[in-house]
């Protein structure tokens, strides 16, 4: 008899999901910090409120979540994944080759995304990113294309799944790469979408609105947010888009929201540690919005924070030393500093800018050269900067601020050199400009959190989410 009851209760337990309370997660937030490994989080925690000589760490909200585990990242064809393959695994439960979006490695099978499954089951769905909404990670949650680079095709596919809310960055190419294709905005409108890309339109969005594409009015030409460190006045943040998502999607049946901090990865590709830290802090602010919602619905809300892979093989500590307090003196992203150098060069065509003038700018933007704050430059470091200055101002080398970052061994631009020197002095090192194969952190809070408590494969993530949502 006892045995019989146990079987019955086990069956009941499984049928209703996996949370301790026996209730399913109705509201699920999946935060993906693109490129955010353990060290990216940890460096941020060392940076917050860092003071000279003080050894302490200020934990971010996610670090105090009750479940803390790890997840694999490898793709079908390599130990070192790309964002499209990682996103496909996390969205569909299948591994694919790097570069492919929502399809099998031979591209013959289309894998269905968890967003589409949840939408069909009656949940509202939101997909958010601080980079273009047709970029690899957000696209993995709706699109199926042979290549992640088919941005225009992805943008045309975007409105075909009735997903309730897209928020954040814009489309790469509204009319295709050559500007001669049908407008993807108009295509979305044809499918019944409203596009809000001004502050007024954004502010008017409200609970119950359906089929919304909300785009940050302050963004780079290709559609990604400006760098957080560069502090654009009045720009909407990832937290604003998350808060708006909660407002729009909140309903009795529940919702699923994927929120990507996309530029953590971009800063890591450029080995720009301070810019990365500001992106992690903005990502953390978005998590706080979900946490405030969780506090109102603690039994029915689940927050998962993870990453698709680590970027930069970043490490904390060089020769047993870390001086995170030195990082506060960098006040500009390397990308904007490159632009600044280009402007100086352009405006002084016939009037050569001296290395000393540039050293002044480096000091005000990176602190470098100021020994009073512990950032004096030795002869080697000056020589590195001089070489970069020579390349950029005398050698006639063009520095494209939007181009891919250079590898540290062949540092060419002044901004990259300055960041490299500052990172090194602060104890932040980089193994590469690319992704690494390490597992990523998983931090979870809320209904069904136990499901995530042991090391798991990235393909298990959507299965676990579906399970805790009672599907
Ligand atoms: Zn990625």
At 405, the pLDDT band (50, 70, 90 cuts) reads low
Distance of CA 3 from the midpoint of ligand 1 (Å): 48
Inter-axis angle of helices 379-389 and 355-366, nearest 10:
110
Q: What is the pLDDT of residue 143?
A: 98
Residue 417: domain span: 323-426
Distance of CA 82 from the midpoint of ligand 1 (Å): 6
What integer is the mean pLDDT of 128-137? 97
CA 8 – CA 2 distance, rounded (Å): 10
Sign of the four-CA dihedral 264, 101, 94, 253: positive
Distance of CA 35 from the midpoint of ligand 1 (Å): 5
Within a domain: 5: no
- Structural domain count, the chain: 2
Q: What is the pLDDT of residue 13?
A: 37
Do 203 and 327 have their domain in common?
Answer: no
Do 410 and 462 have their domain in common?
Answer: no
Q: Tell me: the pLDDT tens digits for 209-258? A: 999 999 999 999 999 999 999 999 889 999 999 999 999 999 999 999 99
Distance of CA 86 from the midpoint of ligand 1 (Å): 7
Is the pLDDT at 3 greater than 70? The verdict is no
Is the pLDDT at 466 greater than 50? The verdict is yes
Distance of CA 307 from the midpoint of ligand 1 (Å): 8
Indicate which CATH number applies to the domain containing 79.
Answer: 3.40.720.10
Nearest to 258 by CA among 191, 170, 165, 185: 165
Query: For residues 126 and 247, is the Cβ–Cβ distance under 8 A?
Result: no
Other beta carbons less than 10 A from residue 43's beta carbon: 26
Q: Tell me: the pLDDT tens digits for 430-459? A: 999 999 999 999 999 999 999 999 999 999
As a whole number, the mean pLDDT across the chain is 92
At 22, the pLDDT band (50, 70, 90 cuts) reads low
Distance of CA 436 from the midpoint of ligand 1 (Å): 10
Distance of CA 442 from the midpoint of ligand 1 (Å): 15
Q: Tell me: the pLDDT tens digits for 143-185? A: 999 999 999 999 999 999 999 999 999 999 999 999 999 999 9
Distance of CA 83 from the midpoint of ligand 1 (Å): 4
Distance of CA 136 from the midpoint of ligand 1 (Å): 7
Within a domain: 1: no
Within a domain: 436: no
Give CA angle at 336 (305, 388), nearest 5°. 115
Residues contacting residue 23 through CB under 8 Å, at least 6 positions apart: 16, 17, 299, 300, 447
Greater confidence (398 vs 251) lies with 251
Do 305 and 330 have their domain in common?
Answer: no
Distance of CA 470 from the midpoint of ligand 1 (Å): 29
Do 166 and 280 have their domain in common?
Answer: yes
Q: Tell me: the pLDDT tens digits for 263-286? A: 999 999 999 999 999 999 999 999
At 8, the pLDDT band (50, 70, 90 cuts) reads very low
CA 143 – CA 152 distance, rounded (Å): 11
Q: What is the pLDDT of residue 403?
A: 60
Is the pLDDT at 406 greater than 60? The verdict is no
The four Cα atoms 198, 176, 270, 86 give a dihedral, to 10 degrees, of: 100
Is the pLDDT at 410 greater than 70? The verdict is no
Do 170 and 267 have their domain in common?
Answer: yes
Percent of the chain past pLDDT 70, that is, above it, reads 92
Distance of CA 352 from the midpoint of ligand 1 (Å): 41
């Amino acid at each position: 008899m006892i045995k019989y009851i146990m079987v019955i209760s086990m069956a009941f337990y499984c049928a209703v999901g996996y949370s301790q309370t026996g209730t399913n997660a109705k509201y699920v937030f999946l935060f993906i910090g693109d490129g955010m490994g353990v060290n990216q989080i940890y460096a941020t925690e060392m940076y917050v409120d860092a003071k000279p000589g003080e050894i302490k760490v200020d934990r971010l909200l996610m670090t105090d979540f009750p479940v803390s585990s790890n997840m694999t990242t490898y793709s079908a064809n390599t130990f070192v994944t790309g964002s499209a393959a990682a996103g496909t695994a996390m969205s569909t439960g299948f591994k694919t080759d790097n570069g492919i979006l929502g399809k099998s490695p031979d591209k013959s099978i289309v894998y269905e995304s968890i967003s589409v499954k949840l939408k069909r089951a009656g949940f509202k769905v939101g997909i958010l990113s601080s980079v273009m909404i047709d970029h690899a990670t957000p696209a993995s949650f709706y699109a199926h294309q042979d290549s992640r680079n088919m941005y225009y095709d992805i943008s045309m596919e975007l409105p075909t799944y009735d997903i309730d809310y897209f928020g954040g960055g814009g489309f790469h190419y509204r009319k295709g790469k050559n500007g001669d294709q049908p407008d993807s905005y108009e295509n979305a409108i044809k499918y019944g979408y409203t596009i809000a890309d001004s502050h007024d339109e954004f502010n008017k969005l409200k609970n119950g609105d359906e089929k919304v594409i909300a785009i940050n009015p302050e963004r780079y030409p290709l559609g990604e947010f400006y760098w957080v460190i560069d502090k654009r006045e009045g720009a909407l943040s990832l937290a604003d888009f998350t808060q708006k998502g909660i407002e729009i999607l909140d309903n009795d049946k529940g919702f699923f929201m994927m929120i990507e901090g996309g530029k953590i990865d971009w800063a890591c590709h450029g080995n720009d540690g301070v810019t990365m830290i500001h992106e992690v802090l903005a990502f953390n602010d978005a998590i706080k919005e979900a946490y405030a919602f969780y506090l109102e619905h603690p039994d029915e809300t689940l927050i998962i924070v993870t990453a698709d892979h680590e970027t930069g093989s970043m490490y904390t500590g060089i020769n047993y030393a870390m001086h995170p307090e030195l990082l506060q003196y960098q006040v500009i992203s390397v990308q904007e500093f490159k632009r600044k150098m280009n402007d100086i060069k352009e405006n002084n065509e016939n009037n050569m800018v001296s290395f000393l003038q540039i050293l002044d700018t480096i000091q005000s933007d990176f602190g470098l050269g100021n020994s009073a704050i512990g950032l004096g430059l030795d002869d080697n470091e000056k020589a590195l900067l001089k070489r970069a200055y020579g390349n950029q101002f005398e050698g006639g080398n063009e520095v494209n601020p939007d181009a891919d970052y250079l590898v540290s061994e062949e540092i060419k631009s002044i901004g990259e050199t300055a960041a490299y020197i500052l990172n090194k002095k602060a104890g932040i090192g980089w193994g590469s400009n690319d992704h690494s194969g390490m597992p990523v952190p998983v931090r979870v809070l809320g209904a069904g959190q136990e499901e995530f408590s042991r090391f798991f494969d990235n393909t298990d993530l959507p299965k676990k989410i579906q399970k805790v949502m009672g599907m």
